[in-house]
Structure 1
Amino acid sequence: MSFFGKNIKKIRGVKGLSQQAFADLFDLKRGTLGAYEEGRSEPKIDSIILIAKYFSIAIGDMLTAELTVNQLLRFNDNLTLTPEELEREQFAQVPCITEKTAEDYIQHCDNEAFLADLPQLSLPLNTEKEFIGYTVTNLEMTSHDKGLFPNDVVIGEKVPKNVISKLNNGTIVLAVTDKKLLLRRLYVTNKGLVLRADHKNIEDVCMDKKSVKQLWRVRYVFFRRVPDMSDTFEDKLAMLELQMKELRGK
């Protein structure tokens, strides 16, 4: 694998370009550029030549070694560097599954071109890890008016298959099988996996580990509404006790 991805990411940092701005310069899709930077795919030779020529960098230098900031500044006097640009945090580009793309994702979840065409979420996550976004479409993960509602977005971190059995029971996951996507709580048993909804009227789904194509552990949730932040019964009781003490003191 070449150093092309690392080098274009460093060029963006020195030049102060977002992934979208850089991609627009060379008629690329942002997801495609992200795949280059993360080493998930290699560019066509035409793209390499175009980018190297634009920044006055030798093709060999782009491909065979990781460029330093000093080298980049020497290659092209138009490149500028400020402390703010150098320290700018690089957000992860997370593909997001929507209701319209869910069925296609089941069939093409390993296709990089398909993933690059999905809507992308720009989030301050660890760029070394793999994440997926998923738009909630039902009430299966609700209970007593609490939980996940349609149009909420969950962000899942990919779980290697050899780690699935080590997850804590009750972990919320997005499971991808040959036929469906299931957002449920995971329970590992001697017989296999149990995927359980929070809604009491939804039956459990039992399956063998081999039936799971991908498993994503939900790490973050974006609500399309303000979640219920009201005080709990214990909080209200503590407040009443405090008020009683104040009254006694008077």
Structure 2
Amino acid sequence: MSFFGKNIKKIRSVQNMSQQAFSEIFDLKRATLGAYEEQRSEPKIDTIIRIANYFSISIDDLLTSELTVNELLKFKADLTTDSTRISKDLFPEIGCVTYELILDYPTSFENEAYIKGLPKLQLPISNAESSRAFVVQNLEMTHLDRGFYPKDIVIGQKLARKDYKKLENGTYCVLITADKVIFRRFFFSSGEITLRTDHKNIEDIEMPVSAVRELWEIKYVFCNRIPDFSDMIEGRLTLIQEEVGKLHELLR
């Protein structure tokens, strides 16, 4: 058995981090982290690599020897027991396009000073360097009292133009044109883009690919309320019922 569990527990101690905080950084369940630390379970190799890289510790050192506090402090200069610094550095920063900035974004997104001046969110997500947050502006993406409301925040990852056609139809996206920031579902066909709302009384927007200056595929959403997940549950139940029906047909 490796020293992985003992070492990550010691890292948490040096960082003054809770199991929950540590788990969130590496997309682990708290119970899974507890099992690692108690040496009841061994991690997957990708988890080992991510933790080793994050703290600038060699995989060999992380697995084969019990690290001391002094050794941990030498591995990375910003390892510290100062809890005020830890809280600030825990999550990466992401620029956020707010109500006040939305009108200027289409003409300013290539301006480095403008982008650096965007308000910052610190969130526990991956690929922060290629992500951007947008505050929802209207009710276009609502339907039957569900969906995205003003003040919700959607976070997207930037897509290259060559990858537009790889997007699954119906994906939530934020598109930037010459004069607008548009948050809708994305549909692509024969070089043309259709943008569709979830609100049934709003017409689609159609445009050529050349009209898109930036495209952000939405990966995360932070709601300004507790969302209603009933549709999701009902959808899963429907899929399960369909699969059970298929099995019955096969068994006849």
| TM-score class normalised by the smaller sequence | 0.5 to 0.7
Q: How does 1:83-162 map to 2 (within 5 A)?
A: 90-127=90-127, 129-162=129-162
* Residues matched between the structures, number: 163
2:225 maps to 1:213: no
CA distance in 2 between counterparts of 1:220 and 1:128 reads 11
Contact 1:91-1:127 within 8 A present in 2 as well = no
CA distance in 1 between counterparts of 2:128 and 2:122 reads 14
* Local SS of the residue matching 2:107: helix
CA distance in 2 between counterparts of 1:179 and 1:213 reads 10
Which residue matches 1:164?
Answer: 164
Which residue matches 1:201?
Answer: 201
Identity percentage of aligned residues: 36
CA distance in 2 between counterparts of 1:180 and 1:157 reads 18
CA distance in 2 between counterparts of 1:71 and 1:226 reads 41
Contact 1:92-1:127 within 8 A present in 2 as well = no
CA distance in 2 between counterparts of 1:214 and 1:168 reads 17
1:216–1:186 Cα change, 3 Å: same
CA distance in 2 between counterparts of 1:131 and 1:233 reads 31
CA distance in 1 between counterparts of 2:91 and 2:225 reads 24
TM-score, with length taken from structure 2: 0.57
Which residue matches 1:29?
Answer: none
* Local SS of the residue matching 1:195: strand
Q: How does 1:12-51 map to 2 (within 5 A)?
A: none
CA distance in 2 between counterparts of 1:226 and 1:81 reads 36
TM-score, with length taken from structure 1: 0.58
2:192 maps to 1:189: no
1:192–1:225 Cα change, 3 Å: same
Contact 1:143-1:198 within 8 A present in 2 as well = yes
1:225–1:166 Cα change, 3 Å: same
Contact 2:94-2:122 within 8 A present in 1 as well = yes
Deviations 1:33-64 (A, max 9, x none): xxxxxxxxxxxxxxxxxxxxxxxxxxxxxxxx
Deviations 1:163-222 (A, max 9, x none): 011100000000000010110000001141101111111111111111100000000000
User: Which structure has the bigger radius of gyration?
Assistant: 1
Contact 1:92-1:124 within 8 A present in 2 as well = yes
Contact 1:173-1:217 within 8 A present in 2 as well = yes
CA distance in 1 between counterparts of 2:178 and 2:204 reads 18
Deviations 1:94-122 (A, max 9, x none): 11111110011111101121111111001
- 5+ residue gaps, structure 2: 1-14, 16-72, 238-252
Q: CA RMSD in A?
A: 3.1
* AA aligned opposite 2:108: H
Which residue matches 1:28?
Answer: none
Which residue matches 2:177?
Answer: 177
* Local SS of the residue matching 2:165: helix
